[in-house]
A and B are shown apart, each in its own frame.
Chain A
Amino acid sequence: MAAWTPDQPMVRLRDVHKSFGQSEVLKGISFEVMKGEVICIIGPSGSGKSTLIRSINALVPINSGSITVEGQEVNDPAVDKLALRRKVGMVFQQYNLFPHRTALQNIMMAPIHVLKQDRSEVEARARALIRKVRLEGKEDTYPGELSGGQQQRVAIARSLAMRPDLMLFDEVTAALDPETVKEVLVTIRELAREGMTCILVTHEMGFAREIANRIYFTDQGVIVEHGSPQEILDHPREARTKAFLEQVL
């Protein structure tokens, strides 16, 4: 297999199918994401968005189809998960910080224990990341003592500490108080501006309009339509998209 080059899609899904028991959750999903692109996935809950985004870093094994990340096939039992997951960062709706470790330790753990990097170098990087997500002074605070928005920013920093090429965000503001949603969006916006490739599942239509290169609307396991934010949000062609947008806007 030829080495991946940045002019090829960084992420490529082809006809991805996934079932949980009898119910088919993904029914043939295909799309491509180029390096530096930001794409948003929207759609009603239960339409398979989480399953889709989790399949990209092999948290959810798929039944058929192909997913490649920088040329590496993910749908392969022998996939090198370490290589894949250091390329792909993921942030969850529920933050999932490790509650028994401080903010700084949460960020440092994986680079030290997984990537076996030098502790002092990792610590310097972790402190820089804390500043980047605007949490100076919270280094030694435990997750339980942080607000939702602060926890989510630590979670983003924790992912970034692995120096990923691609970031996956699964409804990362859905569990937050309205006041703290903004601070998390600011962090993501900065990342996107710096050229990080991002795939976001989101219900924040205003945010999607602002940062997305493309929006994908999914329903019942298929991509109903996709296009630029203006095309999808302002001039949807499909009835299902229109119905969904009417509900959320």
Chain B
Amino acid sequence: MRKERAAPVTDLPVLLPVRSPCVPVLSLRAWHGLVLAAAVLMFAPAAGAQAGSEELSIIGVIIKWMPLLLTGFGFNLLISVLAMALGTIVGLGLGLLQLSEFRWLSRCAWALTQFFRNAPWLVLLFFAMYLIPYEFRIGEVTIPFPDWVKAVIGFALPVMANVAEIVRGAVQSISSGQWEAADSLAFTRRQTLWMIILPQCVKRMLPPWMNLYSLVTMATVLASVVGINEMLTLTAQVHNAEGGRTDLLAPLYAFALLCFFIYCYPINLWTVRLERRFNVKS
């Protein structure tokens, strides 16, 4: 028993000791966002001067289309939240199945996890878009499956696999002494897992899980490839509607970048802070 549980095996960087502070790390800082914002604004007046009188300035274009673009961004967020929720629920189950006492069950769960963890997200998205029918019939009832629902499922697949891996890694990182103590107090395996091991894992799982969420959010723009009206798709449409002006290209996409940055940066900041705090305590 001791032997099996001795070595915590995980390749998740977040479960490893925090990087030493003297090593310079490439990470986003607040000033990166400011540079981005400055870039958008800098392009604006210069391009506006060149533009003819009937054309809106770049700032004008962005303001005009902002409600639409932000709706698109909202759609990205909706997809990311739903995919994360679905993926987390299924992933928790899959992670726990990997820890099952039944060999074949844990093997299957492991294989499934590895398969979805090592597939490109875009391929999984295509997979979901083209293999899931647009509606399901159960007797009389027809359940429609619009494209955006399929996209949610497409993104939930890699989330599921990564969450499963996070769960497995966290459980295996708990010292074998906890299992032994629980065993010696006659807790069943299930009780031990739910009352003793998993509560301790929550802390350890939170930072990698939040990290995963910001990756998912950024990945949702892949849905533009399959024609979902998310921010990137709308940005291209806005650019078209404005006559394909080349001077608009950079500012429009910079605006998209800025939206994602403003959303994801605080999440990353918070993740790093949590990681530090948990590391100091344990």
Which A positions have Cβ atoms within 8 angstroms of B? 20, 57, 59-60, 81-82, 85-86, 88-90, 92, 94, 96-100, 109-110, 113-114, 144, 155, 158-159, 162
Contact = CB atoms under 8 A, between A and B. Distances in A.
Nearest to A113: B191
B178 A96 contact: yes
Interface string B1-24: 111000000000000000000000
A24 to B, nearest CB: 16
Contact of A85 (B2, B186, B200): B186
Interface string B179-197: 0110111110001000110
17 contacts: A20-B3, A85-B185, A88-B184, A92-B177, A92-B180, A94-B177, A96-B177, A96-B181, A98-B178, A100-B199, A110-B185, A113-B191, A113-B195, A114-B187, A144-B281, A159-B184, A162-B185
Nearest to A82: B186
Nearest to A111: B185
Given A98-B200, A114-B191, A155-B181, 11 more contacts: A85-B183, A85-B186, A86-B186, A94-B175, A96-B178, A97-B181, A98-B178, A100-B199, A110-B186, A113-B187, A159-B185
A96 B183 CA distance: 11
A98 B186 contact: no
Given A59-B1, A60-B1, A114-B191, A98 B184 contact: no
B184 A90 contact: yes
Contacts of B2: 60
Contacts of A96: 175, 177-178, 180-181
A114 B183 contact: no
Given A20-B3, A100-B200, A113-B195, A59 B180 contact: yes
Nearest to A155: B181
Interface of B: 1-3, 175, 177-178, 180-181, 183-187, 191, 195-196, 199-200, 281
Which 9 A-B pairs give the minimum distances between C-beta atoms?
A: A96-B181, A85-B186, A110-B185, A96-B177, A90-B184, A114-B186, A82-B186, A100-B199, A94-B177
A109 B184 CA distance: 13
Nearest to B196: A98
B5 to A, nearest CB: 12
Contacts of B185: 85, 109-110, 114, 158-159, 162
A20 B6 CA distance: 14
Nearest to B183: A59
Contacts of B183: 59, 85
Contact of A110 (B1, B177, B178, B187): B187
B268 to A, nearest CB: 27
A99 B200 contact: yes
A59 B186 contact: no
A92 B191 contact: no
B4 to A, nearest CB: 12
Contacts of B3: 20
